[in-house]
Amino acid sequence: MRRNQALTTYKKGGIHPAEYKLTDKSPVQILPLPEKVTILLSQHIGVPAIPVVSKGDTVKVGQLIAQGKGFVSANIHSSVSGKVVKIDSLPDLTGYKKSAIVIEVEGDDWEENIIQSTDLLKDITLSKDEILEKIRESGIVGLGGAAFPSHVKLILPRDKKAEALIINGVECEPYLTSDHRLMLEYGEEMMVGIRILMKVLNVRKAMIGIENNKADAIYHLTDIASKFPGIEVYPLKVKYPQGSEKQLIEALTGREVPSRKLPVDVGVIVHNISTAYAVYEAVQKNKPLINRIVTVSGKSLKKPSNFVVRIGTSVRFLIEAAGGLPENTGKVISGGLMMGKALNSLDVPVIKGMSGILVIPEDETKRKPIEPCIRCSKCVTVCPMGLEPYLLMSLTQNGNFYRLEKEMVLDCLECGSCSYICPANRPLLDYIRLGKTDVKKII
């Protein structure tokens, strides 16, 4: 790596929460098979998948069990082998009941066409359309958290052209290290995945953005990137929320994606680093998206770890493997500290977009009492989108939704920097979310 080169970052706003990367030195462990898995049919943005198996069927690892219907949707595959025991509505991460398929595990019997060996398959033999079809069939979604079906992002509107592919290896959330470990342990596979994506998008250049707190990954990838033409690693200054698509594009290219436009409007396409790895597995090894790396972490946890987990494994199983739920736990979060969702139960399944499970002790759980706004303008300073959170909050409180729209409330990323920085403990983001929901009703 070019150690002394000036690190780039995006210009506007941003914060520096404590990093707590407890598991960045822990190699990825393969979690034993659970007794049963609960596979949700809506693990992506878009229409839920439709089951193609029925109760009593025997399924293999990697078998299609639900089909994505409609343009924005994704296939779902069985992550284990065994018997379908239930197709029913079961609580998802938010606690609402959603359709799911429950499979009881029997053995570990994979579909024949999946190549299980760990050999690196470097040669890309398939054509552009064949690759695209394979990615669609394999049910790959964006693994950074948003879970947007990947094949949709790879089909560009006819009048738009991408110049570069941006690979998001930023992982700016505290605690999370799943992408970090992936880069260290499966770097070459990932590079092949990036080459595949470049072929589909017909671009010559790929930029991998990695924050400087992952120096080992930057060195490692820079090293192997020399063997893959067109791929370059860019170290970035540590700043939250750099992992946000728009901010990362600005950090790497200096281009700002305008309000309500897509990255392709400034000539780039962004994919997460673990999505690139999933693409490699799907295209080179015929393996659909049936597992992923999940960081299980927290200061109170006995054995914080990075696990390779089959989709549908219960969160409780993961926490047991990391040393069990500590007595003083107050909150369990799916995702990161800044943007993750708090779970109301441990009996919910791992989904494709889950990058981490965080266990937070009781004394760090409660919010502090809300005090009056002292108009210190820190929320305005940290907002990466150039919005005025204090104003959006009071406009929401007053129900002034027309002005909210004019003040561009819909541009909010919900990164939480405003609530984080507020010295008066004001729930700025809570109100902004409310305001966004109401503005969406009027437009």
Partner 1 sequence: MSKLLTVSPSPHIYGKDTTPNLMYGVIIALIPVVLASILYFGWGAVIVISVAVISSVLFEFLIQRFLLQKKTTIQDGSAIITGLLLSLCLPSNFPVWLIIPGSLFAIGVGKLSFGGLGNNPFNPALVGRVFLFISFPAQMTSWPEAQGFQTQYIDATTGATPLNIIKEGLGKGDSISHLMDKIPTYQQLFFGNMGGSIGEVAAVALILGLAYLLLRKIITWHIPVSIILTVVIFTGILWLVNPAQNADPLFHILSGGILLGAIFMATDYVTSPMTGKGMIIYGICIGILTVVIRRFGSYPEGVQFAILIMNGFVPLINYYIKPKRFGEEVKNG
Q: What is the DSSP string of 288-311?
A: -S-EEEEEEE-TT-SS-EEEEEET
Distance between CA atoms of 197 and 233, rounded to whole angstroms? Answer: 16
* Least distance (Å) between residue 10 CB and partner 1: 9
Distance between CA atoms of 430 and 420, rounded to whole angstroms? Answer: 12
Give 235's strand partners: 210
Q: Is 8 in the site for partner 1 (CB under 8 A)?
A: no
How many chain residues touch partner 1 (CB under 8 A)?
72
Q: Which stretch binds partner 1 (CB under 8 A): 222-230, 306-314, 337-345, 394-402?
A: 337-345
Q: Which stretch binds partner 1 (CB under 8 A): 62-70, 189-197, 207-215, 385-393?
A: 385-393
Q: Is 398 in the site for partner 1 (CB under 8 A)?
A: no
Q: Is 383 in the site for partner 1 (CB under 8 A)?
A: yes
Apex CA 254: angle with CA 250 and CA 256, to 5°?
A: 55
Q: Is 414 in the site for partner 1 (CB under 8 A)?
A: yes
Nearest residue (CB) to partner 1, 44 versus 378: 378
Q: Is 324 in the site for partner 1 (CB under 8 A)?
A: no
Distance between CA atoms of 49 and 52, rounded to whole angstroms? Answer: 9
244's tokens: 């946000």
Site for partner 1 in 168-197 (CB under 8 A): 174
Produce one character per residue of 381-395: b if its CB has 16 or more CB atoms within 10 Å, e if not: ebbbbebbbbbbbeb
Among residues 89, 127, 397, 425, the one that binds partner 1 under rule CB under 8 A: 425
Q: Is 374 in the site for partner 1 (CB under 8 A)?
A: yes
* Least distance (Å) between residue 172 CB and partner 1: 13
- SS3 of the chain: helix, strand, coil, percent, to 5: 30, 20, 50
Question: Residue 343 has what DSSP assignment?
Answer: E
Among residues 36, 287, 352, 378, the one that binds partner 1 under rule CB under 8 A: 378
Q: Is 386 in the site for partner 1 (CB under 8 A)?
A: yes
On whether the CB atoms of residues 309 and 294 are closer than 8 A, the answer is: yes
Q: Is 266 in the site for partner 1 (CB under 8 A)?
A: yes
Among residues 206, 257, 296, 395, the one that binds partner 1 under rule CB under 8 A: 257
Q: Is 339 in the site for partner 1 (CB under 8 A)?
A: yes
Q: Is 22 in the site for partner 1 (CB under 8 A)?
A: no
